[in-house]
Amino acid sequence: MSIDKHDDPTANRPRRALIKLASLAAAGAAQRGVTGAAGAAALALQSGAARAQDAGVLRIGFQKYGNFVVLKARGTLEKRLAPLGFPVQWLEFPGGPQLLEGLAAGAVDVGTVGETPPIFTQAGGVDFVYIASEPPAPQGEAIVVHQDSPIRTGGDLRGKRVALNKGSNVHYLLVKALEKANLKYEDIQPIYLAPADARAAFTSRSVDAWVIWDPYLAAIERQANARPIANGENLVRNTQYYIASRSFANAHAPIVHALLDEIGAVDTWARDNVPAVATQLAPLVGLDAPTLEIALKRAGYGVQPIDAATLAYQQQIADTFSGLKLIPKKLVVADARWRSA
């Protein structure tokens, strides 16, 4: 089954919701001197977010894949938090940058994203913290081309149209692959598209290459015989992070720790039961179990604390993007480290 947005009626729900909220808030935002869809959405969501906090709701942003989907299906987190009076609300997003837009707008308390989205988000002044990470999964993202493409290496991307989700984990992979090939970022034509739109552009051959992560990667390999020319091996870690609104994490540390405990339990089970996880995920994400098994075998498992080495790696990414002028200023990544009580 395809994961194209035309086949998946849920693919654009978060985008539609944010657009609707932005439209409702546009007039008020203009009066307050706030510009941009993110600012409008933030204003529109402000009162709703405050009510959610007052009511004690954990709002989790997730993507259409991974252990949050399994955790949601198993319902163990809801049972864990029920005695604490914290219901759980699940919000689906097509990618990390979109999820973090939700956090910036006050609609998300906790989410999971790749290694690059937090850099762009911190550069945008959003007050969030890293609360945990997963082990690296460098094979879980790749630059792919069509089977009959003349492109064989990163060096062959010069002048080519390359699709990617701007600010996503694969953005850094592309930068490092070009660097290895002695190319500059301006030597290619980046085409910034969300996964569903990028898949459509790739299959229609409107772009020459696509930089994408699992399970979209596994799907395009199996369904369209796409050929990887590079993955994260020896280039990037492709680390998955758990992030949270700083205000939520500081105010509700026991809830955050309970969430991480439940994620850890799901991780342990998933690592040892890949076929069962694939079967459970298949109807939820719209992909067949064999495709998901490929993706799951390339994933990292095991919740880890944020340590100095992790922060140093994130700092390398931040310095790379500030050097390329893709973010407007230098960052101190350690400022976003959560220090729980």
Domain boundary among 213, 231, 249: 231
On whether both 108 and 38 belong to a single domain, the answer is: yes
Q: In what order do the strands lie in the sheet with 227-231?
A: 189-192, 161-164, 209-213, 141-145, 227-231
CB count within 10 Å of CB 334 equals 13
Domain housing 158:
138-231
Block residue for tokens 């850890």: 264
How much is the average pLDDT of 173-192? 97
Instruction: Quote the CA–CA distance of 332 and 268 in Å, as a whole number.
Output: 33
Asked whether residue 4 is domain-assigned, the answer is no
Sorting pLDDT into bands at 50, 70 and 90, what band is 67? confident
**pLDDT at residue number 55:** 58
CATH number at residue 110: 3.40.190.10
**pLDDT at residue number 94:** 87
Structure tokens at 256: 């955050």
On whether both 28 and 45 belong to a single domain, the answer is: yes
How much is the average pLDDT of 15-24? 36
Asked whether residue 284 is domain-assigned, the answer is yes
Asked whether residue 7 is domain-assigned, the answer is no
**pLDDT at residue number 7:** 34
pTM of the model: 0.81
Domain boundary among 205, 231, 257: 231
pLDDT tens for 311-334 read 999 999 999 999 999 999 999 999
CA distances from 241 to 31, 96, 325 (A): 37, 10, 24
What residue type is assigned to position 278 of the chain? A
On whether both 152 and 71 belong to a single domain, the answer is: no
Domain count, the chain: 2
In the three-class reduction of DSSP (H, G, I as helix; E, B as strand; rest coil), residue 97 is classed as: helix
Structure tokens at 214: 């699992």
What is the gyration radius of the CA atoms in the chain, in angstroms?
Answer: 19
On whether both 222 and 286 belong to a single domain, the answer is: no
In the three-class reduction of DSSP (H, G, I as helix; E, B as strand; rest coil), residue 89 is classed as: strand
H or E element that contains 161: strand 161-164
Decide: residue 173, CB within 10 A, 0-12 exposed, 13-18 middle, 19+ buried.
Answer: buried
Asked whether residue 1 is domain-assigned, the answer is no
On whether both 130 and 196 belong to a single domain, the answer is: no
Asked whether residue 270 is domain-assigned, the answer is yes
On whether both 271 and 330 belong to a single domain, the answer is: yes
On whether both 122 and 149 belong to a single domain, the answer is: no
CB count within 10 Å of CB 16 equals 10
**pLDDT at residue number 3:** 36
Q: In what order do the strands lie in the sheet with 58-63?
A: 88-93, 58-63, 110-113, 241-245, 128-133
On whether both 226 and 147 belong to a single domain, the answer is: yes
Instruction: Quote the CA–CA distance of 109 and 102 in Å, as a whole number.
Output: 9
pLDDT tens for 185-194 read 999 999 999 9
On whether both 222 and 315 belong to a single domain, the answer is: no
Structure tokens at 9: 């009626």
How much is the average pLDDT of 36-56? 44
On whether both 226 and 258 belong to a single domain, the answer is: no
Asked whether residue 186 is domain-assigned, the answer is yes
On whether both 67 and 187 belong to a single domain, the answer is: no
Asked whether residue 171 is domain-assigned, the answer is yes
CA distances from 133 to 112, 172, 329, 332 (A): 9, 17, 25, 18
**pLDDT at residue number 46:** 43
Asked whether residue 153 is domain-assigned, the answer is yes
On whether both 166 and 48 belong to a single domain, the answer is: no
Domain boundary among 170, 204, 231: 231
pLDDT tens for 81-104 read 999 999 999 999 988 999 999 999
**pLDDT at residue number 341:** 58
How much is the average pLDDT of 269-277? 94
CA distances from 75 to 106, 134, 279 (A): 24, 21, 17
How much is the average pLDDT of 44-56? 48
Which among 226, 266, 338 has a CA at the least distance from the CA of 80?
266
In the three-class reduction of DSSP (H, G, I as helix; E, B as strand; rest coil), residue 288 is classed as: coil
SS (H, E, C) 203-269: HCCCCCEEEEECCHHHHHHHHHCCEEEEECCCCCCCCCEEEEEHHHHHHCHHHHHHHHHHHHHHHHH
Tell whether the model's pLDDT for residue 47 goes beyond 70: no
